[in-house]
């Protein structure tokens, strides 16, 4: 059965101006994840001016770290990758000024991502990366995200409401059937006459449990200290972080190419966690694994030799390469042991759907791949 598209009230915004800023930041401690180490990062910040249907002018802000080690892993110099991403940010800023359509934030964000981003990304790689390693699609999404976040921020201001109170039929021009397709398991589309607000909590929680990231170079115990640690009054050792911040959840960054190190790291972090009352752990391999058995063997060893630590592992995050089209690895054997979440691979809801076919259990969504994309992926996954 087909349903006519829902046409809600006219809440159209028009883009009137764009500004782009860069904020260099040095990290307090080196952060190792995957095969690379991060000691500094440039945060890209966007400011969008928009007008609403009443002619009022409003602005929105958005920012995202241009973390080249995460979004564009490889052997190219960091500065080359960073400069490429900054150049693409400038191209995107100019492209947003060319948007003449009016609409709500979800519509404008989706239109840009569906119809403008890919041609611009392809042109960038042809014109500025000719003969060089192309900038990955994930990096393009990261560059887009700061503008998209600013767009959604401005949408809230246009409606004089918090942004997350604007994802309802009172403020959106289309229901989700415009943007999403049903999963094969549904006889009918669950998205007709459905809006993002239907998948969001009615009352936002006032507090959230924080996941503390344990980097690959983070000293766990005194024997790991090198003497180069900062003396600024903040914790260094893991136990001190746990005690000061009353941590309950730890995310363990692993290597993915050294099974013994990864196994030992899980045990060491797990034992410290047990001693200091941490409840949950997760393991994050950051796309460095190519064979599911690598993960399976580590999990099985933990299950057999350290069952309590194994029980504390709540899920495993993105062990495998993030381009699912190039690496369509069947991961059912991993997700049969522990919930397995997409991260870098979850470019949009279509890749979340593909991940489900390959055996992934769920998805960890980040607005650094656009607020629009994260919102739509969340709706698809929760449906």
Distance (Å) of CA 346 to CA 138, 206, 308, 337: 9, 27, 31, 21
Closest by alpha carbon to 282, among 265, 304, 257, 300?
A: 265
Do residues 319 and 289 make contact, with C-beta atoms less than 8 angstroms apart?
yes
Mean pLDDT over 91-119 rounds to 97
> pTM for the whole thing?
0.92
Going by pLDDT thresholds of 50, 70 and 90, the confidence category of residue 211 is very high
Q: What is the CA radius of gyration of the chain?
A: 22
Q: What is the DSSP letter of 115?
A: I
Structure tokens, 115:
């119809």
Examine the pLDDT at 42 and tell me if it is beyond 90: yes
Place of tokens 């401005």: 154
Helix, strand, coil content of the chain in percent (nearest 5): 40, 20, 40
| Numbered ranges of CATH 3.30.390.10 in the chain | 14-178
Q: What is the DSSP letter of 13?
A: B
Examine the pLDDT at 184 and tell me if it is beyond 80: no
Examine the pLDDT at 220 and tell me if it is beyond 50: yes
- CA–CA gap between residue 43 and residue 66 (Å, rounded): 6
Structure tokens, 297:
């063997």
pLDDT in tens, 252-293: 999 999 999 999 999 999 999 999 999 999 999 988 999 999
Share of the chain above pLDDT 70, in %: 95
More confident residue, 20 or 286: 20
Q: Tell me if the domain spanning 14-178 has CATH number 3.30.390.10.
A: yes
Going by pLDDT thresholds of 50, 70 and 90, the confidence category of residue 378 is very high
pLDDT in tens, 323-366: 999 999 999 999 999 999 999 888 999 999 999 999 999 999 99
Q: What is the DSSP letter of 30?
A: E
> Number of C-alpha atoms within 13 angstroms, CB side, residue 142?
25
| CB neighbour class for 90 (10 Å; exposed up to 12, middle 13-18, buried from 19) | exposed
Give the count of beta carbons closer than 10 Å to the beta carbon of residue 174.
18
Mean pLDDT over 234-249 rounds to 97
Mean pLDDT over 26-50 rounds to 92
- Most confident by average pLDDT, 31-40, 245-254, 317-326: 245-254
**pLDDT (0 to 100) of residue 4:** 35
**pLDDT (0 to 100) of residue 8:** 42
Helix H or strand E encompassing 106: helix 105-112
Going by pLDDT thresholds of 50, 70 and 90, the confidence category of residue 35 is confident
**pLDDT (0 to 100) of residue 190:** 77
Three-state secondary-structure class, residue 63: strand
Q: What's the mean per-residue pLDDT of the chain?
A: 93
Do residues 227 and 266 make contact, with C-beta atoms less than 8 angstroms apart?
no
Going by pLDDT thresholds of 50, 70 and 90, the confidence category of residue 183 is low
């Amino acid at each position: 059965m087909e349903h006519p598209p829902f046409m809600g009230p006219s809440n159209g915004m028009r883009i009137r101006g764009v500004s782009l800023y860069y904020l260099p930041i040095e990290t307090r401690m080196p952060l190792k994840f995957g095969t690379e180490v991060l000691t500094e990062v440039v945060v890209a910040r966007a400011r969008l001016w928009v007008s609403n249907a009443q002619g009022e002018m409003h602005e929105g802000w958005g920012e995202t770290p241009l973390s080249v080690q995460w979004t564009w892993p490889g052997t190219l110099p960091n500065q080359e990758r960073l400069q490429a991403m900054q150049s693409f940010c400038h191209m995107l800023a100019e492209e947003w000024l060319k948007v003449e359509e009016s609409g709500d934030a979800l519509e404008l964000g989706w239109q840009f991502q569906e119809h403008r981003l890919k041609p611009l990304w392809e042109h960038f790689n042809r014109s500025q990366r000719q003969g060089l390693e192309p900038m990955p699609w994930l990096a393009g999404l990261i560059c887009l995200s700061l503008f998209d976040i600013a767009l959604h921020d401005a949408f809230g201001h246009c409606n004089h409401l918090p942004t997350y109170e604007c994802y309802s039929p009172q403020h959106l021009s289309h229901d989700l059937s415009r943007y999403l397709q049903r999963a094969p398991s549904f006889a009918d589309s669950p998205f007709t006459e459905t809006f993002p607000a239907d998948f969001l909590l009615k009352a936002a929680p006032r507090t959230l449990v924080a996941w503390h990231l344990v980097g690959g170079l983070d000293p766990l115990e005194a024997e790991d200290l090198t003497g180069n640690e900062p003396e600024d009054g903040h914790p260094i050792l893991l136990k001190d972080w746990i005690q000061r911040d009353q941590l309950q959840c730890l995310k363990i960054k692993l290597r993915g190419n050294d099974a013994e190190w990864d196994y030992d790291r899980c045990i060491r972090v797990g034992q410290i966690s047990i001693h200091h009352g941490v409840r949950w752990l997760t393991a994050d391999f950051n796309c460095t694994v190519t064979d599911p058995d690598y993960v399976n063997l580590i999990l099985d060893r933990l299950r057999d030799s350290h069952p309590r630590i194994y029980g504390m592992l709540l899920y495993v995050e993105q062990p495998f390469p993030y381009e699912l089209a190039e690496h369509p690895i069947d991961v059912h054997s991993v997700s049969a042991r522990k919930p397995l979440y997409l991260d870098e691979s979850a470019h949009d809801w279509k890749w979340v759907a593909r991940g489900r076919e390959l055996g992934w259990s769920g998805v960890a969504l980040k607005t650094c791949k656009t607020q629009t994309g994260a919102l739509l992926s969340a709706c698809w996954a929760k449906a």
